[in-house]
Amino acid sequence: MNEASVGWMRDEFLGRCLERPVWRLEDNSAASLAIAAARAERDWMIDARVPVGQIEALAQLTAQGFRIIDTNVQLDCAVDALTVVTTFSNDWHLRPARAADRGVVQELAARYLNTSRFHLDPRLGQPVGARVKREWVSNFFEAKRGDHMFVVESHAGVCGFLLVLERDSLGTIDLIAVEPQVRGTGAAGALVDAWRTSSPHHALVECR
């Protein structure tokens, strides 16, 4: 019997980032079994997500030692409902990411994507959260996660990026970050529009 058949899965990516075994609950009712299995390890973590409205499931998890770290909101809309924005500026331009962008994109992710559940968890904290985001965005350059990446480039270099996932008619904004000096200039909207116009067959966009 493998882990998936009993309601939890090992998360190899987070395990590498957090330097400990990490499991993700697929069935929240299997929490006690997952905890019993994890206790064989010296240091470990189990990640669970509870859909809104399942108050009793949340109460059962917290009674077993789980702590609420983050509330995740996912927004979706039809691609045609997205506002078309300008993709041109005298201060910056857009282009697809290149292999040479890897280092600067990693640092943008680490510096500005700083409110994740990893950053907010007092047992992990900012340095660990930054490491997760660096490795997360690095997966694109290793062809492990993500279908497209666009960057904003100014005279000073790359100053923002958008990473997207595509599955059939669903497109997902996986990560997006821009430096403060280009915020309010339309750069973030232009990144989304660059993706929208390059993938017109996607009917729905999800941001998480």
Q: What's the pLDDT score for residue 198? A: 82
> The tokens of 68 are what?
């609420």
* 161 vs 191: CA distance, rounded Å: 7
CATH assignment of 75-207?
A: 3.40.630.30
Q: Kindly state the average pLDDT of the residues 69-76.
A: 86
Nearest to 25 by CA among 180, 166, 17, 54: 54
* 87 vs 193: CA distance, rounded Å: 7
User: Over 60: is that where the pLDDT of 37 sits?
Assistant: yes
pLDDT band at 107 (very low <50, low <70, confident <90, very high): very high
Q: Rounded to 10 degrees, what is the CA torsion of 58, 122, 74, 95?
A: -160
User: The tokens 């067959």 sit on which residue?
Assistant: 201
The number of C-alpha atoms within 13 Å of 122 and in the hemisphere containing its C-beta is 2
Q: What's the pLDDT score for residue 1? A: 41
Which of 4-18, 137-151, 193-207 is the least confident region?
A: 193-207
203/19: higher pLDDT: 19
Q: What's the pLDDT score for residue 55? A: 93
Q: What's the pLDDT score for residue 77? A: 81
* 33 vs 37: CA distance, rounded Å: 6
User: Over 80: is that where the pLDDT of 122 sits?
Assistant: yes
Q: Which range has highest mean pLDDT (61-75, 99-113, 160-174)? A: 99-113
In the chain, where does the domain assigned CATH 3.40.630.30 lie?
75-207
148-203 confidence digits (pLDDT tens): 999 999 999 999 999 999 888 888 899 999 999 999 899 999 998 888 888 765 55
CA angle (192, 196, 83) in 5-degree steps: 65
Q: What is the chain's mean pLDDT, rounded?
A: 89
Q: What's the pLDDT score for residue 78? A: 80
User: Over 70: is that where the pLDDT of 25 sits?
Assistant: yes
118/197: higher pLDDT: 118
User: Over 60: is that where the pLDDT of 32 sits?
Assistant: yes
Which residue type is seen at 26?
E
Strand partners, 45: 22
